[in-house]
Amino acid sequence: MPLKKAIHLMLVTLLMSSLLFTANASSAESQTSQGMACEILYAAHPHYKAVQAVGENRLKQTTSLSFQETAAFSQAFMPLTQDIINSLVAANGSDIKVFEQALVIGGYEGESVTSVAIKTQVFNAAGHEKLLKLAAHIGYVYAQDSTLVMCEGNVYDVDKNWLALKSINIKDRGKSVFFEEKNVPIFFGMMIGAFNSPENVGFTFYKDAKVFSTLAGSANASKELAVVKKLASWLNELSNGDIELAIVTKDSWVFFPHNDWQAAPLGQSYKSYMAQESIAGLDLKRQRFLKGIDQFMQQKASRKYE
């Protein structure tokens, strides 16, 4: 399946329907003193409008990758992402800890892509600032439309543009396992069919935990939850009770460091999150990324003719 746009661009439309969230500082301080689970979701595939930053030929090559190839592509650049993390986050730091990167499957409006989730724990306002800076650094290097930052609790009011959403998480609890990778697009298609449209329908599938997660804005959370419950009931009936899905909702707070590559072709919007001295280092990492694209495509061509 051709890759036309990164998942983070896709999610923007969904989230624009949500209300702006202003965190309660005293509540956030209590929560972050114990550490708050947050993650960054990004795709290594550059945005299709980042022509000047990436090059027209490279963009044509990356947007033509199949779904299976996007997984290998994402994995190939995890070491570069780790270098970005190491340049910003100290291993023994007290503000934020970064634990791991993991491949996830994401989809929006009928298309699926491979993305990467970075698990973190944030402890204070300085940690939240560093979390957003890390997301911006990743978005800049990989020429992303946006990176998605998501936290499980009230966030420090570092930036007022956080959005309050409902996260609907679905997991197996029956005799038969339904949420295997091959069935993820099936459930996605069922959601699209239930809504009678792919518009604003998206998901993330965490492969290790086997959790299918979808975000809903405050305006449509109850409707989407009702649809998911109906689909779970239908699968249960169809399987004679062998498939049973557990559905849990929770509040999530999200933020998008972003850049419009048509209006800011060199990623200028991301630079508002960066220290001036870090930009030169990130430009070098961008060059590593571009060389990595060329090497990946050369290896792909070599395998084709073997």
Closest C-alpha to 152, from 197, 122, 188, 180? 122
Helix, strand, coil percentages (3-state) for the chain, rounded to 5, are: 45, 25, 30
Q: Encode pLDDT of 246-268 as tens digits.
A: 999 988 888 888 999 999 999 99
Distances (CA, A) of 111 to 105, 129, 201, 304: 11, 32, 10, 25
Mean pLDDT of the chain: 84
Residues 207 and 255: their CA atoms lie apart, in Å, by 23
Are 140 and 193 contained in the same domain? Answer: no
Are 149 and 269 contained in the same domain? Answer: yes
In a domain, 290, yes or no: yes
Are 151 and 33 contained in the same domain? Answer: yes
Q: What is the mean pLDDT of residues 217-240?
A: 89
Are 76 and 210 contained in the same domain? Answer: no
Are 174 and 154 contained in the same domain? Answer: no
Are 171 and 207 contained in the same domain? Answer: yes
Confidence of residue 224 (pLDDT cuts 50, 70, 90): confident
Q: Encode pLDDT of 173-206 as tens digits.
A: 999 999 998 899 899 999 999 988 887 788 899 9
Handedness of CA 272, 274, 279, 282 (dihedral sign): negative
> Which residues are CB-neighbours of 141 under 8 A, at least 6 positions away?
80, 84, 282, 285, 286, 289
Q: What is the CATH number of the domain that holds 243?
A: 3.30.70
Buried (b) or exposed (e) across 9-39, using 16+ Cβ within 10 A? bbbeebbeebeebebeeeebeebbeebbebb
The token duo for 145 is 């439309």
Q: Encode pLDDT of 79-127 as tens digits.
A: 999 999 999 998 888 999 999 999 999 887 777 888 999 999 999 888 9
267 with 46: CB under 8 angstroms? no
Confidence of residue 157 (pLDDT cuts 50, 70, 90): low
In a domain, 1, yes or no: no
Amino acid letter at 50? Answer: A
In a domain, 244, yes or no: yes
In a domain, 70, yes or no: yes
Are 149 and 49 contained in the same domain? Answer: yes
In a domain, 287, yes or no: yes
In a domain, 100, yes or no: yes
Are 139 and 235 contained in the same domain? Answer: no
Are 24 and 130 contained in the same domain? Answer: yes
Q: What is the mean pLDDT of residues 139-145?
A: 94
Give the residue numbers spanning the domain of 126: 7-106+116-164+260-304
Residues 274 and 118: their CA atoms lie apart, in Å, by 19
| Coil, strand or helix at 253 | strand
Burial of 248 (0-12, 13-18, 19+ CB in 10 A): exposed
Report pLDDT for 15.
35
- Tally of domains within the chain: 2
Amino acid letter at 15? Answer: L
Distances (CA, A) of 290 to 53, 283, 284: 9, 11, 10
Are 123 and 205 contained in the same domain? Answer: no
Phi-psi label, residue 2: left if phi above 0, alpha if psi -120 to 50, beta otherwise = beta
Are 57 and 181 contained in the same domain? Answer: no
Residues 238 and 222: their CA atoms lie apart, in Å, by 24
Report pLDDT for 111.
77
Confidence of residue 155 (pLDDT cuts 50, 70, 90): low
The token duo for 197 is 């449209």
- Give the single-character DSSP code of 182: G
In a domain, 111, yes or no: no
Q: What is the mean pLDDT of residues 133-151?
A: 93
Structural domain ending residue among the three candidates 251, 278, 294 = 251
In a domain, 67, yes or no: yes
Least confident of 62-76, 155-169, 290-304: 155-169
Are 137 and 153 contained in the same domain? Answer: yes
1, pLDDT greater than 80:
no
